[in-house]
Amino acid sequence: MILGNFIGFARSARGTVTFSSSNSMDGIARSEIFCEATSEEVIEACERANQAFIEFSQLPNTSRGQFLRRIADLLQQQKENLEPIYCAESGLSPERFESELLRTLRQLYNFAELSESGAWRNASIDTSNPNQDPPKPDLRKMCIPIGPVVVFGASNFPLAYSTIGGDAAAALAVGCPVIIKAHPLHAATSDFVAALVVQAAEETGMPDGVFSHVHAKGFRVGTELVQHPFVKAVGFTGSLAGGRALFDLANNRTEPIPVFAEMGSVNPVFILPEFLQKEKENWVEMLANSMISGLGQFCTNPGLIFVIDNEVTDEFLQMLSSDFLSKVSTAMLHSSIKDRFDQGKLQMEIHGAEMHQSLGDMSDNVARQALGAIRAKQFIQNPKFQEEVFGPFTLIVRCSDMYDLASCVDVLNGQLTASILGSRDEIRFQNQLVIKLQNKVGRIIFNGVPTGVDIAPSMQHGGPYPASTDNRFGAVGIDSAQRFVRPVAYQNCPEDLLPEPLKNKNLFNIVRRVNGVFTADAINF
Amino acid sequence: MILGNFIGFARSARGTVTFSSSNSMDGIARSEIFCEATSEEVIEACERANQAFIEFSQLPNTSRGQFLRRIADLLQQQKENLEPIYCAESGLSPERFESELLRTLRQLYNFAELSESGAWRNASIDTSNPNQDPPKPDLRKMCIPIGPVVVFGASNFPLAYSTIGGDAAAALAVGCPVIIKAHPLHAATSDFVAALVVQAAEETGMPDGVFSHVHAKGFRVGTELVQHPFVKAVGFTGSLAGGRALFDLANNRTEPIPVFAEMGSVNPVFILPEFLQKEKENWVEMLANSMISGLGQFCTNPGLIFVIDNEVTDEFLQMLSSDFLSKVSTAMLHSSIKDRFDQGKLQMEIHGAEMHQSLGDMSDNVARQALGAIRAKQFIQNPKFQEEVFGPFTLIVRCSDMYDLASCVDVLNGQLTASILGSRDEIRFQNQLVIKLQNKVGRIIFNGVPTGVDIAPSMQHGGPYPASTDNRFGAVGIDSAQRFVRPVAYQNCPEDLLPEPLKNKNLFNIVRRVNGVFTADAINF
């Protein structure tokens, strides 16, 4: 069965280059054959998106919400058909499918609500004052969508951060057409979901071009998309090398565009000594579970643990090591990812980490989880120890004392998260450490593990480079929609010509900043 | 008199390369001799800024406000001494000095208030729910400063967008140390102001390094600053070539940083026919004044006017031309700027614009204002006609009809502003034009001129490239401080360890989003 791309609502398979994805566990090629998008198909997807843009951006508040809700309905209806494809391609379990689907649905509902509420407009109104010198004009400002957005599917989240995941839902919610570059490792999952999105778009009367979906195994299609003048932003979740390449492409355009790449992070965990003494037993299991969770294939995987050397620590590490290394491992997302994982572990060993590896299943694509151990001095001197080993690997950094640990923080790269495990007194005493850390990360977790990223509005998923390319924004939660909008001001615009969110009467009761005060009230003169 | 740099609070003149600025009117070199910063001085300024950062960012709410207010006081006290330097170097009038000083003071007060209010934190709180599956953690998010910011002085705003102008005040308000690269054309003005900023910083107990000020005539110092790893953002107002060069430098760093460059814009004005017929007389003077304002050296100068061909239009253009060309012109900011202005006009003529030039004063640095005229077809075919001619020059584009005009909008580059002069019915009828335009600009003005940028919070000063490098932010008003902050989330942080803006009791009564609702209330459990 040859599956083409979706160029707008239409299937299109004009190219001659084809490929297949494979089942993660045994590496056997699947029956679906995907046809790589040609350059012409890429251009057409961009042109359709551009044509759809103005109509899509001008839809009434409720329409885009309906579209997103309809996608969620279809995903629910088709989950039995989707699950086997998802599990086979990714090697992820049915339980993971359930939880990732639930997350995807929640995201769709949250963004539908956001779209309907108009809260993303950040409406701000300053009424005129003709008596001021010079006379103060009537100024009203709100956010509008920036235009077509290209989203690259993520290898590690075939649903929640791919075809209709966070980035795509956020862009669609605020009126940006989306072009998906499907991840080739789960092309069948992506294709299945794309067909549902197209169906939902047609059923809810969206303009053709609001969503396209293109396949490719190599870099050409992605490059052409990022370089097309109609594309106005890029969303990406993946490796540092991949994210940086897209970032560079986008910034070398005649008109540069923002790239929101969520890339490498090793999510350091700092365990303070008093805490460890009291809580050792409780936290072995908690940490080991976080380390094995998703087989270490989460962007928030705890890849670094800092401890202070003493007898309790030795005992704790012993327990952690035996717990973690004895866990049953499964297949990684793909054999190529497993190969890179093995390479990464080897590099750590070559650079001098003392390695402890699981003796578990040796079959083809099953990862053997590992712990490495180094001293603070090694960490400080060799930046290689900060590189992410994608998979179930954690590096323990043994520090002589808190000064030693603080020196490690000084050289630490940007991270998505940092976790501090400490007694209340210890943390209070280490306040300077917390302040230093907040300048290195996007999220600080107190007495918790970094995995498990809640999708609440107050989440921040994004950190200083190389964790993200633009840490003024995040990739999770409704605020992530702010990546795809920009403010426009209307000066002395007659009331009847103003966009709805800026009219005096405030039909949808959105919270607006009116003459400096946040209020959902209408403006009365 | 040799004047060095300020490396933190200390004067420093270690270099051997010196230069002087000149008086704009006669080109005669001034007596002050400026010592270019050496590479070592640049590094030291960055290191001091980095050292000051954490202390500065952790100051109580009121302290940074006091600092900014003290700067305003000193500027007020010293205005008689500052005015002659400002006027001589820039060629700008004493009246302009007064109004620019007033704007600078207002900006300082607005940013002081912003700093004190804590509104810039964008605080967001989602309280925990242990009964949810999975349990919902306590998540609290707020903005923190990104780190040291480099600001390049603007040639056309020696006060309001230079040494302690909008960019610098915005960065300082939110806790980012600032390093100023002084504009060499008004080095003496910049130096005078820098000394006041340093005095204010010392008097209000700011950490040394919170502000540095370096001189240079060429590109080396600016390049070194933008490339230094401690620098986390750049503010720039100037030419497209200059802004793009800094943008490219910043994006080619190992750790890319944002560059907020406010660059070229020709601020198109669209005059609809019915309006013109009725309002011709009233608007000749209004437009001509906007065109000559600041001698066309404002970023919002109306450089393009679109009209529909007919007899009324001919009459109007006749009147506009004779009014505008007969205005008394004065010296431009500098002879080098005058030379580029003359070059720009020549280019327009070479490319086929029908030129009408003032016959006024021919003395050395006085600009001869000019109008050019082309047809829509020429505009559409030749992108050269979209290039900014910095100075008192406006290009008239004659369109056969509204379709012709709409075709011009289709090829229009990104702009800071667009102005529509039309009757209410005309504008309503041309609603699609307004929607098209909003996707090209940062601000739409209805029946008004683009010059005169109000500093109200609802202003948006920034547009799609090449108007700005990052149009998700603006360069005017308190929201411009959002360029220099990023969000950080605190997960399950004990109440007593939370930063003040996120604590339950909400000591400073800031508006926060609590479980999705905007409120200034405390949180009670």
What number is the ipTM of this complex? 0.96
Instruction: Determine which helix (DSSP H) or strand (DSSP E) holds B149, and give its type and residue range.
Output: strand B149-152
Q: The domain at A39-263+474-482 falls in which architecture?
A: 3-Layer(aba) Sandwich (3.40)
Asked if B479 reaches chain A (Cβ–Cβ under 8 Å), the answer is: yes
Instruction: Determine which helix (DSSP H) or strand (DSSP E) holds B19, and give its type and residue range.
Output: strand B18-19
State the catalytic residue, choosing from B35, B299, B399, B408. B299
Location of each CATH 3.40.309.10 domain in chain B = 269-446
Cβ atoms of B340 and B99 closer than 8 Å:
no
CATH class, domain B2-7+39-263+474-482, is alpha beta
High-pLDDT (> 90) share of chain B, %: 93
- Alpha-carbon gap, residue B193 to B212, rounded angstroms: 12
Q: The domain at A268-446 falls in which architecture?
A: 3-Layer(aba) Sandwich (3.40)
Cβ atoms of A225 and A214 closer than 8 Å:
yes
pLDDT for B129? 92
pLDDT for A134? 80
State yes or no: is B46 an active-site residue: no
**Portion 138-177 of B in contact with A at CB < 8 A:** 139-141, 144, 146-147
Location of each CATH 3.40.605.10 domain in chain B = 2-7+39-263+474-482
pLDDT (mean) for B77-93: 97
CA distance B219 to chain A (A): 21
Instruction: Give per-10-residue mean pLDDT for chain A (525 aa).
Output: 95 97 93 97 98 96 95 98 97 96 98 95 96 90 98 96 98 98 98 98 98 97 98 97 97 98 95 94 94 94 97 96 93 93 96 92 84 98 96 98 96 97 94 94 97 95 97 96 98 95 94 95 89
* Inter-chain touch B255–A465, beta carbons under 8 Å: yes
State the catalytic residue, choosing from B41, B262, B387, B388. B262
Farthest CA pair distance, chain B: 81
pLDDT for B134? 80
More confident residue, B131 or B254: B254
**pLDDT at residue B361 greater than cutoff 80:** no
Cβ atoms of A151 and A233 closer than 8 Å:
no
- Alpha-carbon gap, residue A521 to A507, rounded angstroms: 10
Location of each CATH 3.40.605.10 domain in chain A = 39-263+474-482
pLDDT for B46? 98
Best CA proximity match to B37, nearest among B198, B191, B160: B191
Size of interface A-B (CB pairs under 8 A): 192
The one-character DSSP state at A26 is T
* Inter-chain touch A428–B490, beta carbons under 8 Å: no
pLDDT for A61? 82
Strands (E), B238-369: 259-262, 269-271, 304-308, 354-357
Chain B partners of A124 at a C-beta cutoff of 8 Å?
Answer: 457-458, 479
Residue in A144, A471, A479 closest to B438 by CB: A144
Strands (E), A245-351: 259-262, 268-271, 304-308
pTM above 0.95, yes or no: yes
**pLDDT at residue B362 greater than cutoff 90:** no
- What's the half-sphere exposure (Cβ side, CA atoms, 13 Å) at A210? 30
State the catalytic residue, choosing from A262, A388, A399, A408. A262
Give pLDDT tens digits for B443-477: 999 999 999 999 999 999 999 999 999 999 999 99
- The CATH number of B269-446 is 3.40.309.10
Asked if B472 reaches chain A (Cβ–Cβ under 8 Å), the answer is: yes
- Alpha-carbon gap, residue A9 to A6, rounded angstroms: 6
pLDDT for B359? 83
Asked if A137 reaches chain B (Cβ–Cβ under 8 Å), the answer is: yes
**Portion 364-383 of A in contact with B at CB < 8 A:** none
pLDDT for B132? 85
State yes or no: is A87 an active-site residue: no
Count, in order, helices (H) and strands (E) of chain A: 15, 22
* Inter-chain touch B490–A448, beta carbons under 8 Å: no
Measured between its terminal Cα atoms, the distance across chain A in Å is 65
- Residues B437-469 as b/e (b if ≥16 CB within 10 A, e otherwise) read bbbbbbbbbbbbbbbebbbbbbbbbbbbbbbbb
